[in-house]
Amino acid sequence: MASRPAYLDYQATTPLDPRVLEVMMPYLTEKFGNPHSVNHAFGWEAEAGVEVARGQIANLINVEPRDIIFTSGATEANNMAIKGIAFALHPRKSHVITQETEHKCVLESVRALENMGLRVTILPVDHEGLVDPERLAAEITEQTGLVSIMAVNNEIGTIQPLSEIGAVCKARDVVFHCDAVQGVGRIPIDIQGMHIDAMSLSGHKIYGPKGIGALYLRRTKNPVPLLPILNGGGQEGGLRPGTLSPALCAGMGAACEFMLREGPDELLRIEALGKRFWQELSSDLPEAQLNGSLQSRYWGNLNISFSGIKADRLLSRLKTIALSSGSACATDDANASYVLKAIGLEHGRAEASIRIGIGRQTTVEEMSAAREEIISAVTTLRSS
Ligand SMILES: Cc1ncc(COP(=O)(O)O)c(C=O)c1O
């Protein structure tokens, strides 16, 4: 079998950490009970696994375990938070604010609210992809109930000014929801200090399994109101019905535990790899452009454009590395990325962008090989 290319698409998904799989295995075999069966040991041991995991997730983000609600992923967590909080606040509050480079599941959730008659404001971002907290403050009215702003952008790695946004929301008594899928375990997030009231997480972006996520929702002190968007049994405190998968929960919990222990060192290593790659690539190809922010950036996500070269032609020449031109959910979209358009990239540049995602398994050697292959492909395409 031909050897597989080096994986450089860590924003799309991350490989399951083998240590996480080990923790999951018993729940796929002998500990098969329904965690909601209260009358026997099979149910109790499955439930115990779920509760350990809830505690591990809560520990990573420094909140109470009770405030963690399991979901099928961040798409569900975002839908649940945005629609569920907006429904609970309606009709007293009927205005929701977000921004234009959010993930589609946030943008489509607010669009659904708009179709139901709520008022929605989508804030613009500047050329680095940053929201202006003063502009946010100016848009808030008596009717505003919810602000949803992401932590780290999945396409360009821009880190939003969460502390400032949280301070604005707190001062105006507006619920602040944050899609932290690309941020948790990658950048420091202080839920209390940043006044985050609700936050979405995904298992498969932190070396855990796919098909599991969580919503942090403050329920212990000064609870955030939320109406469930799914109806069924009373699981997850009546907020998210359905039988939980103990294996997936245990996997996400273990992934969070490893992230808590190893995340800070990992971040330094990834940052060094990203910075060095960009320094060397940009000195060899001075016309290359790093999209997003230089200062407020997660360095494990490098979105780079090469003017005059279509990303799909470039990607088809890169045989030893696996990366993409942007969001995995939009790679079949013929149009250039809405995120790149939002930061003002003209169409030609937006079509010429690739995203390099660096992660836990990425080595110095892989990054050097990737740089050489990209430089050679760009040079060939330029001269053809
Ligand atoms: C910023 C962001 N939000 C939400 C999601 C959706 O996450 P999930 O795959 O867990 O539904 C993703 C996944 O790409 C993402 O990057």
For the stretch 298-344, pLDDT in tens is: 999 999 998 888 888 999 999 899 998 865 554 445 567 999 999 99
Q: Which of 72, 104, 182 to mutate to test the pocket of ligand 1 (most atoms within 8 A of CB)?
A: 182
Say which CATH architecture domain 18-257 belongs to.
3-Layer(aba) Sandwich (3.40)
16-33 pLDDT, tens digit each: 999 999 999 999 999 999
* Residue 368: predicted pLDDT: 96
pTM of the model: 0.96
* Residue 332: predicted pLDDT: 47
Residues annotated catalytic, as ranges = 329
Nearest to 77 by CA among 195, 213, 232: 213
- Cβ 170 vs Cβ 139: under 8 Å: no
Pick the residue whose CA is nearest to atom 16 on ligand 1. 154
- Cβ 125 vs Cβ 148: under 8 Å: no
- Cβ 203 vs Cβ 211: under 8 Å: yes
Is 103's C-beta closer than 6 angstroms to any atom of ligand 1? yes
Distance between CA atoms of residues 174 and 197, nearest Å? 9
Is 213's C-beta closer than 6 angstroms to any atom of ligand 1? yes
* Residue 232: predicted pLDDT: 94
Say which CATH architecture domain 6-14+263-383 belongs to.
Alpha-Beta Complex (3.90)
CA of 1 to the centre of ligand 1 (A): 32
Is 357's C-beta closer than 6 angstroms to any atom of ligand 1? no
Whole-number percent of the chain with pLDDT over 70 = 97
Is 93's C-beta closer than 6 angstroms to any atom of ligand 1? no
Is 245's C-beta closer than 6 angstroms to any atom of ligand 1? no
Mean pLDDT of 163-184: 98
Q: What are phi and psi of 295, to 5 degrees?
A: -80, -45
**In sequence order, what are the beta bridge partners of 147?**
97, 176
Does the pLDDT of residue 260 top 70, yes or no? yes
Within 304-363, residue ranges assigned H as helices are 311-317, 338-342, 347-350
Nearest to 153 by CA among 122, 187, 113: 187
Within the chain, residue ranges assigned H as helices are 18-28, 41-61, 74-89, 104-115, 133-139, 162-171, 246-284, 311-317, 338-342, 347-350, 364-383
More confident residue, 350 or 119: 119
* Residue 165: predicted pLDDT: 98
CA of 142 to the centre of ligand 1 (A): 31
CA of 105 to the centre of ligand 1 (A): 8
Nearest to 277 by CA among 304, 309, 316: 304
274-311 pLDDT, tens digit each: 999 999 999 999 999 999 999 999 999 999 998 888 88
Does the pLDDT of residue 117 top 70, yes or no? yes
Is 181's C-beta closer than 6 angstroms to any atom of ligand 1? yes
Neighbours of 286 (CB within 10 A): 8
Q: Which of 71, 149, 181 to mutate to test the pocket of ligand 1 (most atoms within 8 A of CB)?
A: 181
Mean pLDDT of 347-372: 94
Listed by start position, the domains of the chain span: 6-14+263-383, 18-257
* Residue 264: predicted pLDDT: 95
- Cβ 239 vs Cβ 214: under 8 Å: no
Q: Do domains 6-14+263-383 and 18-257 have the same CATH topology?
A: no
Does the pLDDT of residue 347 top 90, yes or no? no
Does the pLDDT of residue 1 top 50, yes or no? no
Q: What average pLDDT does the structure give for the chain?
A: 95
- Cβ 70 vs Cβ 242: under 8 Å: no
